[in-house]
Structure 1
């Protein structure tokens, strides 16, 4: 399934919601064997206060306030989804566990995987969404898009380079805009210590040496802290919000990947959501 297929699936469900009415459509969206439930692909529904209205795998929390729910790294997914839906709908990204045996276990933090989502309004008072994992987007035997694999490979190469060549040489290479750690697709490496001090960056030379651990995005997520914490626990994915220089520095969701170099510092990179979906979603809190 492509991102465009996902968008069509959600828009069709939104049209169904408008035609069938809220009560009937919420009942349908709640069925694990319903018209809009196909294993990992399903519809969930919220009102704009953050109350979960329907979810085929989360029946126990339907009716509860989920406005403060965040993914395993601290991304406020429900608030971002609501804001995007209220602006007319669009793509989002987040980390989420896959259903196992008809159950989603949000407490199993080590099972969270990147998910590309799409949200759309239904009338004026509620909205719906769905999402696909990287594996759902790819041919059998391929686990993630090439753009993500290339980005991860760049991070792995930078971490290995740092361990082999030492920090001084690595910081110089990472900060070089025309160097080995800025690729043709626009991916680049950044380096921080675990206290959130920026050590190397090809596009933010004026910020090198600054402590950014308390940096917050427009939705309140401490993105640098989340990246640091992920690196210190062994590395992995983090979805966060960051200005996109290719779109006049407008804030955009970014799928990041970080790895520790040693006990002192770590490296990371990322792919903006629009680089996967081909469509920019304007974020507004």
Structure 2
């Protein structure tokens, strides 16, 4: 049995500035996505999943876990993340499942529709949609936030998931699962991540509304609220001082690793969770969320 307080690295961390969206291989320490640790048990055998933002961070961990649980997995990602995406594709195939790599930008409604259609066509079905792709840029005050950057937050974090979910409804059957990556910031907004926090508040609300709106279809809608998670978002979307102390604000006194969230996404997608819809699952190292 492993002590969760000491299982992974704790702050302080080295400053490691990157431009958005960041690169996994440039992080120190490099995140754990479950490459060596996640063991599947067939919970998603025969299913097909689409994970947006699946090249790195939480999306990569989910893609690897889903493949090891028996699902074919498509991942969407920005074109500049091709190398990271190919690494994830290799892990999916190593698990004996089919991988589909879909470069593009989720802000584009046509692209969001395209990735859904291509996934359903390639795999012959679509059972799970994970709306995980996101954009984040810090701010010091409201005046510093460029209008275009504010809009990009909503286009990526809200519009993209809406476009993809709407398109997926033509393929999802009763029992299918849609999962949104929201954030603890949806309930505890961070002033220096004002725009990002606002989008996550909207996203959590979207989960609750869609769960009710789509209940009669038998499609389940849920969200995950990660706390501080060690992903390329951190050096690429936070100040150097914030990176140094990242994770110290929660009771575990360390950031979570992407691998530590995978089980929540598997649980929400699995048949055993057939009565779970409209849930917001917090994974935040003991951080109280109300």
TM-score by length of 2: 0.24
Q: Whose helix fraction is larger, Structure 1's or Structure 2's?
A: 2
Bigger RCO (CA 8 Å, 6+ sep)? 2
> TM-score normalised to the size of structure 1?
0.25
Larger Rg: 1
